[in-house]
Amino acid sequence: MIHLEGTSDPGRREAESRSEAAQRILTAYRGQRVSLMPEAQRAQLLEAIAEWLGLADADGTVR
Amino acid sequence: MITTAVHRGLIYAGQTRLASTIRLEQTGPMQVTVRAGTFTGTDGTPHRLAADQLGLFSSDPTAVKQYEAELGLTATGAVEVCLRSRIPPDGYPPLPAGWRTLSVLICTVTVPRGATDLTEVPIHVLTVRPGFPPGTGPVDAMIQRGQT
């Protein structure tokens, strides 16, 4: 099997704001129904929304 | 979790000769094995994947990562599987030079950040079934193609 890993600049990602990271997670789950998601994905989505709204820290701790 | 659904890997052959005996299994927490088999195109041309292929997945500690895999022909005409990853919004790396895709084998897999096990992550894979979807038939296919 041929494995091709996408490249991503770690420096750019470090500099990326928390809200942008959360938005990327939201984009990745676009089109999926929350009620049909496995628990782990649903939890990550909820954390992303909370971060995006400024209601939680980056580790998912609610403020 | 290997699965399939219409528009996510599941294809009905209809009146074509499309078929596939290639199966996919999750053989480790972050590992999918593509079993050897034959993919037959709609025109009946068989393409034999001679040996099992091992697909290794990994997660990113800080970002969602996505994977997809295609079955295709290399520049030399060999049947091969190409597994590509990306971290959105970056795109997938380009397919190898001379590559010709036969079919998507694994639809987009979204790996949560830091994941160490894909058991709960849906991995939608190619599944070809004969005939038409339940409740439909050749006439429906002709209507969709504007042939009636």
- Which of B62, B79, B118 should be substituted to probe chain A, the one whose Cβ sees the most A Cβ atoms within 10 Å? B62
The answer to the question of residue A28 being in a domain is yes
Q: What is the 3-state secondary structure (H, E, C) of chain A?
A: CEEECCCCCHHHHHHCCHHHHHHHHHHHCCCCCHHHCCHHHHHHHHHHHHHHCCCECCCCCEC
Tell if the CB–CB gap between A6 and B93 is shorter than 8 Å.
yes
Residue A11 pLDDT exceeds 60: no
Q: Which residue of A has its CA nearest to B8?
A: A32
Cβ of B89 and A4 within 8 Å?
Answer: no
Tell me what percent of the residues of chain A surpass a pLDDT of 90: 6
- Looking at residue A60, its pLDDT comes to 73
Starting at the edge strand that comes first in sequence, how are the strands of the sheet with B65-73 ordered? Answer: A2-4, B79-86, B65-73, B100-111
Per-window interface: B 93-122 vs A, CB < 8 A: 93, 95-96, 110, 112-113, 115, 120-122
The helix (run of H) or strand (run of E) holding residue B140 is helix B138-144
A11-23 burial code (b ≥16 CB/10 A, e <16): eebeeeeeeebbb
Cis peptide before B89 (omega within 30 of 0): yes
CB nearest A8 (choices: B83, B87, B110): B87
The number of folded domains in chain A is: 1
Domain count, chain B: 1
Taking CA–CA distances from A7, the nearest residue in chain B reads B86
Q: How much is the average pLDDT of B65-80?
A: 96
The pLDDT of residue B148 is 65
Asked, for residue A33, whether it belongs to a domain, the answer is yes
- Nearest-Cα residue of chain B relative to residue A41: B112
Dihedral over Cα of B76, B81, B67, B108: its sign? positive
Residue A11 lies in a domain: no
Range of the domain at A35: 18-63
Does residue B76 have a pLDDT over 90?
A: yes
- Residue A27 domain flag: yes
**A2, B120: Cβ pair inside 8 Å?**
no
Helix (H) or strand (E) holding B31: strand B31-34
Q: What CATH code is carried by the domain that includes residue B53? A: 2.60.40.2980
What residues make up the domain containing B101?
Answer: 2-144
Residue A61, amino acid: T
A1/B85 CB distance under 8 A: no
Please name the residues in contact with A29: beta carbons below 8 A apart, sequence gap of 6 or more: A37, A41, A45, B110
Q: What is the pLDDT of residues A15-26, one digit of tens each?
A: 456 667 777 777
Model pLDDT, residue A12 = 55
Q: Assess if residue A4 is contained within a domain.
A: no
pLDDT by residue (tens digit) across B89-134? Answer: 788 999 999 999 999 999 999 999 999 999 999 999 999 999 998 8
- In chain B, % of residues over pLDDT 70: 99
pTM above 0.80, yes or no: no
Closest CA to B67 of B100, B16, B112, B14: B112
User: CB of B59 within 8 Å of any CB in chain A?
Assistant: no
